């Protein structure tokens, strides 16, 4: 092998040291059958001089018997290792290849293009940072292109390069290239793939792979190799939320007890405080060990052993996290699942779910929708078969500890294992805690119907039922506005019930904390009460922070669009702080209150609220009048039926 570094022959120690310092890029190639995925990888290996002489000799020999490239050397034979692949000229299994240049190390996953090997692509893509999607310049964007782009998006691969291959068979036409770019951009927008990089090339002839070549003068972008050597895959890494799944408790002697694993997110230093989940115990990091000695700081991807200053109970499967950013916890999660077994899903069967280093017993309790992998259309389903992709509810007998997959691919993923065969039958990506929003009520429980008609209640009370949902940051004035609105309505003879967030917390929601999942559940409970209040012909006034737009949208769906009036108090955060007599913002600043909207957690500003008020510049009386105007305009303060 003629290697690009002369050090390998003159100073092996220096070469190894240089090699060790290079960063690693994992990427996959995917696309339609015969788009040239294996040929591209072979070209990268061949032209970067990463093929040994005996491999090259074997390649020429195989090319004479099973080559599919005509008069040219079939470089795909370097990666198509299975006999069936060589005979058919296609990729069936996932082939992994390693190579390096002077700037970077690479691991390539060459994934199959056929629909029936979707599970193979999922396996190959699960650990990759970048996807190269090949398109045959003659055929353009096909169903397989959309399918593989969807899987790359589903698996959280943010960096996508679109290699428009076989340009030699399209006369190196810039117009054809631009046409395919436009077609794929429409798909990328639909799937949420941001800023894909487009490159024309001929993997067979080598144009624009490692060397630019002479046939693409109109293209002024990077070659494929230049792109791979320079693409930034580190910028999206989470350095704030520390996540350290404990893989092993290390006890080499009586005087040492450390916790070994690989950091999946965040930075850690000796002296930092961490929380142990699921126990919730807090402790302090004493030392960070590696094979080469202690570290002053460690980050994502590093395998380390951590010791703690205090003797605390930490076991395999526990996770050390930032105290201010705990993992979410739930027995039920809303997840996307790829079914990988020839045996279909059995709802009556209990599976093993492995999430990180923890194993729990679980069932898939509901299928919400199945994705047609060719059209990306979603439809109801009652079963899952090989290669199916669906959104499901996973119900476990022990709490799962997780981040949403979009936040952390390691703590947000899991595999489903058959208890009898120990085979992996599914792979999943957690969207959120399912909670009661997604819970299915026993079909034998039937909603009771009142003998009193809605029209009768409307005539009796002189109003139509609705829920006025007041949302905003802590200190925005939600309770103050809710009380003023209640007083005015009562004085005008309206029948109302006020559901203040604090009162809900002291009663119906007293068992809930303030994590994202628990805030969502508080919104659900409030919405359920408001719905019952409305069913009795009464007006409900609900005052909640409700920081997540998804929870507010669910509340609106539960209560009904025609009965839901959203009022957003857009009070400046500095005014909210001034009004905070309880010192909640200051406590949140000190890290004493985790996940506090406006400080350590986000607040999703409503984009389509029925009314937006700033009570720092508008009087309370004016705010109440404007709400009445909305209600009058929608006919909610009249007994007359709505048209």
Q: What pLDDT, in 10s, does the model give residues 476-509?
A: 999 999 999 999 999 999 999 999 999 999 999 9
Q: Cβ-count burial of 247 within 10 angstroms (0-12 exposed, 13-18 middle, 19+ buried)? A: middle
Task: Identify the band that residue 248 occupies on the pLDDT scale cut at 50, 70 and 90.
Answer: very high
CA dihedral 27, 32, 33, 35 (to 10 degrees): -70
The answer, yes or no, to whether residue 79 has pLDDT greater than 70, is no
Q: Which of 258-272, 342-356, 509-523 has the lowest mean pLDDT?
A: 509-523
Residue 117: what pLDDT? 66
Domain boundary among 408, 435, 462: 435
165 with 270, same domain: the answer is: no
Q: What is the DSSP letter of 369?
A: E
447 assigned to some structural domain: no
Residue 442: what pLDDT? 66
**Secondary structure element (H or E) that encloses residue 306, with its range:** strand 303-308
Neighbours of 394 (CB within 10 A): 27
CB distance 635 to 642 below 8 Å: yes
Average pLDDT over residues 77-101: 57
User: How far apart (Å, rounded) are the C-alpha atoms in residues 308 and 316?
Assistant: 15
Residue 546: what pLDDT? 94
460 assigned to some structural domain: yes
| Enclosing domain of residue 405 | 330-435
92 assigned to some structural domain: yes
CB distance 214 to 231 below 8 Å: no
Give the rounded distance of the alpha carbon of 28 from its chain centre.
19
Task: Identify the band that residue 74 occupies on the pLDDT scale cut at 50, 70 and 90.
Answer: low
125 or 496: which carries more pLDDT confidence? 496
271 assigned to some structural domain: yes
**Secondary structure element (H or E) that encloses residue 588, with its range:** helix 584-589
Residue 4: what pLDDT? 53
User: How far apart (Å, rounded) are the C-alpha atoms in residues 570 and 489?
Assistant: 23
Task: Identify the band that residue 69 occupies on the pLDDT scale cut at 50, 70 and 90.
Answer: low
Average pLDDT over residues 158-172: 93
The answer, yes or no, to whether residue 199 has pLDDT greater than 60, is yes
309 with 334, same domain: the answer is: no
Domain boundary among 321, 351, 366: 321
Average pLDDT over residues 150-178: 92
Average pLDDT over residues 570-591: 92
Residue 62: what pLDDT? 62
Q: Where are the beta strands (DSSP E) in 474-549?
A: 496-500, 539-544
The answer, yes or no, to whether residue 10 has pLDDT greater than 80, is no
Average pLDDT over residues 266-291: 93
413 with 301, same domain: the answer is: no
User: How far apart (Å, rounded) are the C-alpha atoms in residues 542 and 403?
Assistant: 29
258 with 338, same domain: the answer is: no
The answer, yes or no, to whether residue 430 has pLDDT greater than 80, is yes
136 with 222, same domain: the answer is: yes
The answer, yes or no, to whether residue 88 has pLDDT greater than 50, is no
Closest CA to 43 of 225, 187, 227, 261: 225
Q: Which of 42-51, 170-179, 433-442 has the lowest mean pLDDT?
A: 433-442
366 assigned to some structural domain: yes
Residue 237: what pLDDT? 79
Residue 119: what pLDDT? 77
- The domain that holds 307 is classified in CATH as 2.40.30.10
The answer, yes or no, to whether residue 2 has pLDDT greater than 60, is no
The answer, yes or no, to whether residue 412 has pLDDT greater than 80, is yes
Residue 86: what pLDDT? 40
Q: Which of 412-421, 507-516, 614-623 has the lowest mean pLDDT?
A: 507-516
The answer, yes or no, to whether residue 54 has pLDDT greater than 60, is no
Closest CA to 305 of 275, 270, 346, 340: 270
297 or 30: which carries more pLDDT confidence? 297
315 with 343, same domain: the answer is: no
283 with 370, same domain: the answer is: no
Average pLDDT over residues 623-640: 90
The answer, yes or no, to whether residue 90 has pLDDT greater than 50, is no
Q: What is the mean pLDDT of the chain?
A: 86
Task: Identify the band that residue 63 occupies on the pLDDT scale cut at 50, 70 and 90.
Answer: low
pLDDT > 70: percent of the chain: 86
Q: Which of 115-119, 187-191, 366-370, 393-397 has the lowest mean pLDDT?
A: 115-119
Residue 376: what pLDDT? 80
Residue 92: what pLDDT? 43
Average pLDDT over residues 518-528: 91
Average pLDDT over residues 1-20: 59
- The domain that holds 537 is classified in CATH as 3.40.50.300
Closest CA to 162 of 114, 208, 97, 105: 208
**Secondary structure element (H or E) that encloses residue 164, with its range:** strand 159-165
397 with 533, same domain: the answer is: no
463 with 314, same domain: the answer is: no
173 assigned to some structural domain: yes
Task: Identify the band that residue 642 occupies on the pLDDT scale cut at 50, 70 and 90.
Answer: very low
The answer, yes or no, to whether residue 56 has pLDDT greater than 70, is no
Kindly state the tokens that stand for 249.
């408790």
93 with 31, same domain: the answer is: yes
Residue 630: what pLDDT? 95
340 with 315, same domain: the answer is: no
59 with 170, same domain: the answer is: yes
Task: Identify the band that residue 121 occupies on the pLDDT scale cut at 50, 70 and 90.
Answer: confident
Q: How many domains does the chain have?
A: 4
Neighbours of 601 (CB within 10 A): 19
193 assigned to some structural domain: yes
Residue 20: what pLDDT? 64
The answer, yes or no, to whether residue 14 has pLDDT greater than 70, is no
The answer, yes or no, to whether residue 455 has pLDDT greater than 60, is yes
518: Cβ contacts below 8 Å, ≥ 6 apart: 512
109 or 583: which carries more pLDDT confidence? 583
Kindly state the tokens that stand for 475.
């200190």
Average pLDDT over residues 432-452: 76
640 assigned to some structural domain: no
CB distance 526 to 542 below 8 Å: yes
Domain boundary among 373, 404, 435: 435
Neighbours of 190 (CB within 10 A): 13
Q: What is the DSSP letter of 607?
A: S
Task: Identify the band that residue 547 occupies on the pLDDT scale cut at 50, 70 and 90.
Answer: very high
User: How far apart (Å, rounded) are the C-alpha atoms in residues 97 and 22?
Assistant: 17
């Amino acid at each position: 092998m003629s290697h690009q570094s002369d050090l390998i022959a003159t100073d092996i120690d220096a070469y190894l040291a240089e090699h060790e310092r290079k960063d690693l890029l994992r990427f996959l190639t995917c696309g339609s059958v015969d788009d040239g995925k294996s040929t591209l990888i072979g070209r990268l290996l061949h032209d970067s001089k990463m093929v040994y002489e005996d491999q090259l000799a074997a390649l020429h020999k195989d090319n004479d018997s099973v080559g599919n490239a005509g008069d040219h050397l079939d470089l795909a034979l370097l990666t198509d290792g299975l006999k069936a692949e060589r005979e058919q000229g296609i990729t069936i299994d996932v082939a992994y290849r390693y190579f390096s240049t002077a700037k970077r190390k690479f691991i390539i996953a060459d994934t199959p293009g056929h629909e029936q090997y979707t599970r193979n692509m999922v396996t190959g893509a699960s650990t990759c940072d970048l996807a190269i999607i090949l398109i045959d310049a003659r055929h353009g964007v096909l169903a397989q292109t959309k399918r593989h782009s969807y899987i790359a998006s589903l698996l959280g691969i943010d960096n996508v390069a679109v290699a428009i291959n076989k340009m030699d068979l399209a006369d190196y036409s810039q117009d054809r290239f631009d046409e395919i770019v436009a077609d794929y951009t429409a798909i990328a927008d639909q799937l949420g793939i941001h800023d894909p990089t487009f490159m024309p090339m001929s993997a067979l002839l080598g144009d624009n792979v490692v060397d630019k070549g002479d046939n693409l003068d109109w293209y002024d972008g990077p070659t494929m190799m230049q792109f791979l050597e320079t693409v930034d895959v580190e910028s999206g890494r989470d350095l704030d939320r520390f996540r350290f799944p404990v893989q092993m408790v290390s006890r080499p002697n009586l005087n040492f007890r450390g916790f070994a694993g690989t950091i999946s997110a965040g930075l850690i230093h000796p002296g930092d405080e961490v929380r142990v989940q699921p126990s919730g115990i807090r402790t302090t990091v004493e030392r960070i060990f590696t094979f080469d000695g202690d570290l002053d700081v460690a980050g994502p991807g590093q395998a380390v052993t951590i010791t703690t200053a205090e003797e605390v109970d930490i076991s395999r499967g526990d996770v050390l996290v930032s105290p201010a950013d705990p993992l979410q916890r739930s027995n039920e999660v809303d997840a996307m699942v790829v079914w990988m077994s020839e045996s279909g899903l059995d709802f009556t069967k209990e599976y093993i779910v492995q999430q990180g280093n923890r194993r729990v017993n679980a069932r898939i309790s509901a299928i919400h929708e199945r994705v047609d992998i060719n059209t990306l259309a979603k439809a109801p389903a009652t079963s899952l078969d090989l290669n199916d992709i669906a959104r499901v509810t996973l119900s476990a007998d022990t709490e799962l500890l997780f981040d949403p997959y979009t936040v952390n691919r390691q703590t947000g993923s899991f595999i489903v294992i058959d208890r009898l065969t120990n085979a992996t039958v599914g792979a999943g990506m957690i969207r959120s805690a399912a909670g009661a929003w997604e819970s299915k009520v026993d079909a034998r429980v039937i909603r009771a119907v009142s003998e009193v008609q809605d029209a009768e209640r409307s005539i009796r009370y002189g109003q139509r039922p609705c829920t006025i949902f007041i949302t905003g940051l802590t200190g925005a004035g939600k309770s103050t506005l809710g009380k003023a609105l209640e007083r005015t309505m009562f004085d005008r003879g309206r029948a109302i019930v006020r559901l203040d967030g604090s009162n809900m917390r002291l009663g119906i929601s007293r068992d809930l904390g303030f994590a994202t999942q628990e805030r969502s559940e508080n919104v659900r409970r409030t919405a359920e009460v408001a719905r019952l209040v409305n069913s009795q012909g009464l007006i409900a006034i609900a005052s909640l922070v409700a920081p997540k737009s998804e929870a507010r949208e669910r509340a609106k769906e539960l209560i009904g669009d025609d009965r839901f009036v959203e009022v957003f108090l857009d009070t400046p955060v500095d005014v909210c702080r001034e009004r905070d007599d309880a010192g909640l913002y200051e406590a949140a600043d000190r890290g004493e209150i985790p996940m506090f909207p406006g400080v350590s957690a986000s607040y999703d500003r409503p984009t389509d609220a029925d009314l937006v008020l700033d009570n720092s510049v508008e009087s309370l009386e004016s705010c109440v009048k404007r709400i009445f105007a909305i209600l009058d305009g929608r006919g909610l303060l009249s007994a007359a039926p709505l048209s």
